[in-house]
């Protein structure tokens, strides 16, 4: 749900607006609403989540009603409606990945990070959640890390540990 306390003032840089303009040019002039999903991805890449205030500004940019942005941002699963860790880990939890141990990986992440699914670690670095099929079933268990959506395949508890250590060093 969209809450009042999540109103964070945002500023769209001129670089971001330039990217918006490029996306908008892909559609017929009177169909610029088509740019909505790509624009929300650009917003999320910039702020690591999609604050309501940013949705309002996107609505203004596309000359549509804010509700048209809200309904889209809440329908699709990729848009974070509250702040996440710097690295948001998303583990596939659908059938084929579970046949090869995805549930174990999710439990392991919970223990390793010391937070529950959807929560952010105290240092602000990590959050994780289970997501539905990521279309990499033959290479499961898999996880992806937003905002780059880099993919990690054939996970084991050890490879997850290493990944987390590497990310800690990288930050």
Partner 1 sequence: MSRKLLLEHINVPGINTLEVYRQKGGYRAVEKALKTLTPEEIVEEVKKSGLRGRGGAGFPTGMKWSFLAKPEGVARYLVCNADESEPGTFKDRYLMTYIPHALIEGMIVSSFALGAKVSYIYVRGEMMPQIRILEKAIAEAKAAGWLGKNILGSGYDLELYVQPGGGAYICGEETALLESLEGKRGNPRIKPPFPAIAGLYGCPTVVNNVESIAAVVPIINDGGDEYAKIGIGRSTGTKLISASGNLVKPGVYEIELGLPVEEFIYSDEYCGGIANGKRLKATVAGGSSVPILPANLTLKYANGEPRLMSYESLSEGGFATGTMMGSGGFIAFDEDQCIVRNSWNFARFYHHESCGQCSPCREGTGWMEKVLHKIEHGHGKMEDVDLLWDIQRKIEGNTICPLGDAAAWPVASAIRHFRDEFEWHIKEPVKSQSQNYGIANYANPIEKAPVTEEK
Binding residues for partner 1, rule: CB under 8 A, are 26, 28, 31, 33-38, 40-41, 62, 68, 71-72, 75-79, 93-96, 98-100, 131-140, 144, 148-151
Nearer of residues 5 and 30 to partner 1, judged by Cβ: 30
Sheet containing 143-146, strands listed edge to edge, beginning at the edge strand earlier in sequence:
126-131, 87-92, 143-146, 150-152
d(CA 164, CA 100): 21
Helix H segments across the chain? 14-24, 36-47, 52-62, 66-75, 95-99, 102-113, 157-170
Least distance to partner 1 from the beta carbon of 62, Å? 8
Backbone region of residue 48 per phi and psi (left: phi > 0; alpha: psi in -120 to 50; beta: other values): left
> Which tokens go with 89?
């880990």
Q: Which is nearer to partner 1, 120 or 143 (CB)?
A: 143
Using only C-alpha atoms, the chain has a radius of gyration, in whole angstroms, of 18
Closest by alpha carbon to 79, among 51, 118, 120, 121?
A: 51
CB of 125 to partner 1, least distance (A): 21
Rounded to a whole number of angstroms, the minimum distance from the CB of residue 171 to partner 1 is: 20
Residue 62: count of CB within 10 angstroms of its CB: 18
Smallest distance from partner 1 to CB 169, Å: 22
Which one, 21 or 161, has the nearer CB to partner 1?
21
Nearer to partner 1, 23 or 115 (CB): 23
In the complex, least distance from residue 122 CB atom to partner 1, rounded to whole angstroms:
28
Minimum CB distance to partner 1 smaller for 2 or for 99: 99
């Amino acid at each position: 749900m969209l809450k009042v306390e999540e109103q964070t003032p945002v500023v769209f840089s001129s670089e971001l607006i330039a990217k918006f303009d490029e996306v908008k040019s892909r559609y017929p002039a009177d169909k610029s609403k088509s740019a909505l999903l790509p624009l929300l991805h650009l917003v999320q890449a910039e702020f690591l989540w999609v604050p309501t205030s940013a949705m309002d500004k996107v609505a203004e940019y596309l000359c549509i009603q804010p509700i048209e942005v809200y309904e889209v941002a809440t329908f699709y699963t990729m848009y974070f409606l509250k702040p996440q860790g710097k690295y948001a880990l998303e583990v596939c939890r659908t059938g084929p990945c579970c046949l090869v141990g995805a549930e174990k990986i999710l439990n392991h992440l919970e223990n390793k990070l010391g937070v529950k699914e959807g929560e952010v670690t105290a240092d602000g670095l990590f959050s994780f959640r289970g997501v539905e099929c990521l279309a990499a079933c033959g290479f499961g268990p898999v996880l992806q890390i937003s905002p780059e959506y880099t993919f990690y395949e054939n996970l084991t508890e050890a490879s997850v540990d290493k990944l987390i250590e590497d990310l800690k060093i990288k930050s």
